Amino acid sequence: MSIAANQIGVLLATLVLAALFLVSLGVGAGDVTLFGLWHGTAELDLLAISRLPRTVAVVLTGAGLAIAGLIMQAITRNRFVEPSTAGTAQSAELGILIVTLLWPAASLGFKTLAASVTALLGTAFFLMTAHRLPPTQPFLVPLFGLVYGSVLGAVATLIAWQLDLLQYLSIWSSGDFSGVLRGRYELLWIGAFLVVAAWLVADRLTIMALGRDASIGLGIDYARMMQLGLGIISVISAVTVVVVGVVPFVGLVVPNLVSRLMGDNLRATLPVVAVSGAILLLACDILGRLIRFPYEIPVGTVMGIVGALLFLVLIFQPRVRG
Amino acid sequence: MIRIENVSLAFGKTNILKEISVSIPKGGITALIGPNGAGKSSLLGLAARLLPLQAGDISVDNLSVSSTSGKVLAKKIAILRQDNHVGSRLTVRELVGFGRFPHSHGHLTENDHRIIDESLRLFGLTEMSERLLDTLSGGQRQRALVAMAYCQDTDYLLLDEPLNNLDMYFASELMKSLRNIADTRAKTIVIVLHDINYAGSFADRIIAMKDGQVVADGKPADIMTETALGGIYGFNIPVISVGGQPIALPFRR
Amino acid sequence: MIDRRLVFLGALALACMVAFMTIGLRGNLGFVLSLRAIKLIALIEVGIAIAVSTVVFQTVTANRILTPSIMGIDALYLFAQILLVFLLGGLAYTSLDAKLKFGVEVVALMALSLGLILPMLRTRLDMGFLLLVGVVIGVLFRSLHSLIARVIDPNDFAVAQASSYANFNDINSELLTVASLLTLAALVFVWHARHVLDVVALGRDTAIGLGINWTRTQVACLLLVASLVAVSTALVGPVAFLGLLFVALAERIVTTRRHSILIPAVALVAIIVLVGGQTLFQHLLGNSSTLGVVVEFAGGVVFLILLWRGSRK
């Protein structure tokens, strides 16, 4: 992939994202028009309190999840894993559940911290196990992760059921941006910082995808990079689950699609993956708002359909050679 | 000099290496030969700190591989392992370029590009440098990986069966390139080979291993004899001389 | 001669049924008993449906960690429902007679299985690949289902939260007669074909060599599986790993893959787990609605262990 073509790709993606951003500001139960914005304060308030925070939240989440998936695929050397198919998101859910249980008044920040810790533990266990599955059967790893996630989900459901927290659990287990308001989404900016952090170590991540031996041979502290990667994945997943709930497939399909178009030199592709993740999620969120206007379909449901379809296309279509 | 002292390695109850001591001085090509399971790859892996040392010590130019930082060693010693499954969609040039990572940490300089170009040329990859790895044949990919190791520009180059997947033409081309590198750039190359005739023809020294021990060590002329080979491999291998070059004929009739 | 272990399982199953019917009886005996009897029949039916469909599916795919649900057949049932909604329109669908609706759904599911699952099974793809596709298809149809539910009635969150676990508490008893007939027919058919199934389990090539009409057998087995999945899904909801749990347990006990023993054993284990579990949860733990989650958890763990062991052989 030449540098010029690469830059055109980034530019195009950014333009699409900007367009969707504007559309997202305009779509919702309350009307926002340019005319109204010029004259009244009510519409400005709507924009500032609800529409803008929501749109920013979607962008941050989409970018963060796509990068989390990208990192996970690099460090597991398996193209078909991502946080929601590796037990990460479900471990985070368990963490929030436990905190809510022990300390109902805990702040959002503290919940995120707890969720990050459990996400880290759950993902580390998955990686240790998945590592021992035969590399000749790459499909076993995501399968193992999906079922592992559903087992963790069953544990969470069981706890929630016993303690009458089922309603809370359903909030976390299905991603939804309709509740995002100013003052309640800002934690997501952590994800943005982590995306930048990932970009700074992009070369190392590319090398890690070549394998442990190649990484050590090139002088990379493999164990520390593994920990760093795990940390980024866990925190992004935890923040997402705490603020909006589980959003499946973004981390899976976006890195794969970008890889098919632009290859796997992450320093070049990582920004594109982040922007594309934001585009996909924003498009799905807008779609969810339009399908049954003025009611909303949660983005988790829309992504479940769009993401699953894209994923099936990805695994059925043999690699384009050339 | 790579100094290997009293190195032992065991996985569970299986002893892979038993008290190995051997030194490989700077310069030239050293071939490691021996039957499957002799411990050649393990020894190479230990020397390149891919496996943790259990007993004994290995040093490269007096830098102990167990205590020296990975970054420093990456400028000293490069290794190509046997099973290199690369799933990433990178171009040949990108892959080879990652060999420069220990030096430039991803910010390629003019000098880096010069070395990349040279590596590509040296291993016959210039024409396919913009192609993606997954479009290459097994042999082309293998050459790209050797080029990447070379591009690391280290004094020591460890290659574990680099002739895998190569047809006769490219196998012999690769060996000639390595010979050339060793002679003109003063590189020290340690190479695991299965075909003893390549070892006999291209190496300066042959170290033979069997059951985790060094069983023979010397110049090709000393190793490429019926008695020595018979002792290493455990069956009779006739050796004939073709133009002064000893050729083993391990084909039972 | 009847296998001793089968007798043991039978006795245990009977004990569970008796316990289910008698423990904690209070109030109007006739009313309570008839209520419990209906529930008992439903549980037994579901158990048999899951057991037989799993065994037959595993046999015909020559794969010991597959269940129809993992392959997404129960999600396909949801898809069949969605199709009907689209064809008939939301209102017409909800006002349809339950039995008629179920009948149409069964036929639709059979058609979908033949159209979608059969071609996949015949491609002889990598097992891990097939499983992954099945799981993803499951996610797809479940999401579609909750989407449609929301589109039909945006305020009805109960429907939208389409339960992801089987619920053995409020069983849809309207369908009991239809479901009973279907299950019984399937049972008779499978028992009749038990020796054929033993041969089918040897794999495609061997079975053909022994004179089995492979295509016909495969189609018949899949139709049978589809109808049984429809029964269990309609009665209690999705049961991803339940069948796997039953088969794994039964195989441990009877240590054979011969269908004349395995099928009754799995069915009995299913009854013991479901009826016994329901009794236990209802009277001892005081919360019967979590049985579905607990067995699903256990089944999931069994799946992970089987996958882990199988892949490392």
Give the per-residue pLDDT at C52. Answer: 92
Residue A321: band (very low, low, confident or very high) from pLDDT cuts 50, 70, 90:
very low
CB atoms C128 and A304 under 8 Å: no
Give the per-residue pLDDT at A320. Answer: 45
**B253 or C126, higher pLDDT:** C126
B102/A contact by beta carbon, under 8 A: yes
Residue A322: band (very low, low, confident or very high) from pLDDT cuts 50, 70, 90:
very low
**Across B204-223, average pLDDT:** 93
Domain membership of residue A67 (yes or no) is yes
Distance of CA B81 to the CA centre of its chain: 8
Q: State the smallest CA–CA distance between residue C293 and chain A in angstroms.
A: 6
What residues of chain A have any CB closer than 8 angstroms to a CB in chain C? 80, 129, 132-134, 137-140, 142-144, 146-148, 150-151, 153-155, 157-158, 161-162, 170, 248, 291-292, 295, 297, 301-305, 308-309, 311-312, 315-316
Give the per-residue pLDDT at C164. Answer: 59
- In the DSSP assignment, the letter for residue B55 is E
Q: State the smallest CA–CA distance between residue B52 and chain A in angstroms.
A: 12
Give the per-residue pLDDT at C288. Answer: 61
* Distance, CA of C47 to CA of C246 (rounded, Å): 9
Q: Is there contact between B and C if contact means ≥3 C-beta pairs under 8 Å?
A: no
Highest mean pLDDT: which range of B82-86, B166-170, C175-179: B166-170
Task: Please say if the pLDDT value at position B21 is more than 90.
Answer: yes
**What DSSP string describes C170-197?**
S--GGGHHHHHHHHHHHHHHHHHTHHHH
Domain membership of residue A145 (yes or no) is yes
Give the per-residue pLDDT at C126. Answer: 67
Give the per-residue pLDDT at A64. Answer: 96
Task: Please say if the pLDDT value at position C149 is more than 80.
Answer: no
Give the per-residue pLDDT at C161. Answer: 43
Q: If you count residue pairs, one on A and one on C, with CB atoms under 8 Å apart, how many are there?
A: 110
Domain membership of residue A21 (yes or no) is yes
Q: Are C86 and C187 in contact (CB under 8 A)?
A: no
Strands B205-210 and B2-11: unpaired
Domain membership of residue C39 (yes or no) is no
Give the per-residue pLDDT at A31. Answer: 64
- Against chain B, the chains showing at least 3 CB pairs within 8 Å are A
Six-digit token pair at C12?
A: 């245990």
CB atoms B78 and A259 under 8 Å: no
Give the per-residue pLDDT at C256. Answer: 79
Q: State the smallest CA–CA distance between residue B248 and chain A in angstroms.
A: 33
CB atoms A207 and B101 under 8 Å: yes
**A5 or B9, higher pLDDT:** B9
Q: Which CATH number goes with the domain that contains A192?
A: 1.10.3470.10
**Could you read off the pLDDT of C250-270 as tens digits, one per residue?**
888 887 788 888 999 999 999
CB atoms C154 and A161 under 8 Å: no
Domain membership of residue A90 (yes or no) is yes
Nearest to B86 among A202, A210, A322 (CB): A210
- In the DSSP assignment, the letter for residue A317 is S
Residue B245: band (very low, low, confident or very high) from pLDDT cuts 50, 70, 90:
confident
**Across B103-112, average pLDDT:** 88
**Across A272-284, average pLDDT:** 95
Stretch 125-184 of chain A: residues touching chain B, C-beta under 8 Å: 135
Domain membership of residue C135 (yes or no) is yes
Residue A3: band (very low, low, confident or very high) from pLDDT cuts 50, 70, 90:
low
CB atoms B89 and A263 under 8 Å: yes
**Could you read off the pLDDT of C4-41 as tens digits, one per residue?**
888 889 999 999 998 888 887 777 788 888 888 888 88
**Could you read off the pLDDT of C225-255 as tens digits, one per residue?**
988 988 888 888 777 788 888 988 888 888 7
Domain membership of residue B4 (yes or no) is yes
Give the per-residue pLDDT at C243. Answer: 87
**B12 or B100, higher pLDDT:** B100
The size of chain B, in residues, is: 253
Q: Which CATH number goes with the domain that contains C236?
A: 1.10.3470.10
Q: State the smallest CA–CA distance between residue B227 and chain A in angstroms.
A: 37
**Domain range for B64:** 1-69+194-253
**Could you read off the pLDDT of C188-199 as tens digits, one per residue?**
999 988 888 888
Domain membership of residue C268 (yes or no) is yes
CB atoms B149 and A217 under 8 Å: yes
**Could you read off the pLDDT of A255-276 as tens digits, one per residue?**
999 998 888 999 889 999 999 9
Give the per-residue pLDDT at C287. Answer: 67
Q: Please report residues of A whose CB lies closer than 8 A to that of B86.
A: 210-211
**Average confidence score pLDDT of chain A:** 86
Nearest to A203 among B50, B78, B106 (CB): B106
Provide the residue type at C75 as one letter: A
Stretch 152-171 of chain C: residues touching chain A, C-beta under 8 Å: 154-155, 161, 164-165
Domain membership of residue B29 (yes or no) is yes
Nearest to A219 among B50, B73, B94 (CB): B73
**Could you read off the pLDDT of A243-253 as tens digits, one per residue?**
898 898 999 99
Stretch 117-156 of chain C: residues touching chain A, C-beta under 8 Å: 126, 128-129, 131-133, 135-137, 139-140, 142-144, 146-147, 150-151, 154-155
Q: If you count residue pairs, one on A and one on B, with CB atoms under 8 Å apart, how many are there?
A: 81
CA B167-B172-B177 angle, 5° bins? 125
CB atoms A137 and C312 under 8 Å: no
ipTM of the shown complex = 0.81
Q: Which CATH number goes with the domain that contains B249?
A: 3.40.50.300
- Give me the number of domains chain C comprises: 1
Residue C272: band (very low, low, confident or very high) from pLDDT cuts 50, 70, 90:
very high
**Across A65-77, average pLDDT:** 94
Domain membership of residue C80 (yes or no) is yes
Residue A180: band (very low, low, confident or very high) from pLDDT cuts 50, 70, 90:
confident
Domain membership of residue B46 (yes or no) is yes
Domain membership of residue B140 (yes or no) is no
Domain membership of residue A191 (yes or no) is yes
Helix, strand, or coil here: A288?
A: helix
Domain membership of residue C35 (yes or no) is no
* Mean pLDDT lowest among B91-105, B185-199, C139-153: C139-153
Q: Are B132 and B91 in contact (CB under 8 A)?
A: yes
Residue A30: band (very low, low, confident or very high) from pLDDT cuts 50, 70, 90:
low
Domain membership of residue B122 (yes or no) is no
CB atoms A211 and B84 under 8 Å: yes
- Give me the number of domains chain A comprises: 1
Element spanning A167, H or E:
helix A166-173
- Give me the number of domains chain B comprises: 1
Give the per-residue pLDDT at B253. Answer: 58
* Distance, CA of B109 to CA of A62 (rounded, Å): 34
- In order of A66, A122, C103, the CA distances from A162 in angstroms are 34, 22, 36
Domain membership of residue C278 (yes or no) is yes
* Distance, CA of A176 to CA of A178 (rounded, Å): 6
Give the per-residue pLDDT at C131. Answer: 76
Helix, strand, or coil here: A14?
A: helix
Task: Please say if the pLDDT value at position C82 is more than 80.
Answer: no
Domain membership of residue B146 (yes or no) is no
Helix, strand, or coil here: B19?
A: strand
Domain membership of residue C27 (yes or no) is no
**Domain range for C151:** 4-15+47-58+65-167+174-308
**Domain range for A86:** 3-316
Give the per-residue pLDDT at A34. Answer: 63
Domain membership of residue A322 (yes or no) is no
Six-digit token pair at B161?
A: 């069966």
Domain membership of residue C38 (yes or no) is no
CB atoms A80 and C139 under 8 Å: no
CB atoms C300 and A151 under 8 Å: yes
Cβ neighbours for C207, distance < 8 A, ≥ 6 positions apart = C199, C200, C214, C217
**Could you read off the pLDDT of B46-72 as tens digits, one per residue?**
999 888 899 999 999 999 998 888 889
Among all residues of chain A, which has the CA nearest to that of C310?
Answer: A133
Domain membership of residue B75 (yes or no) is no
Helix, strand, or coil here: B105?
A: coil
CB atoms A210 and B98 under 8 Å: yes
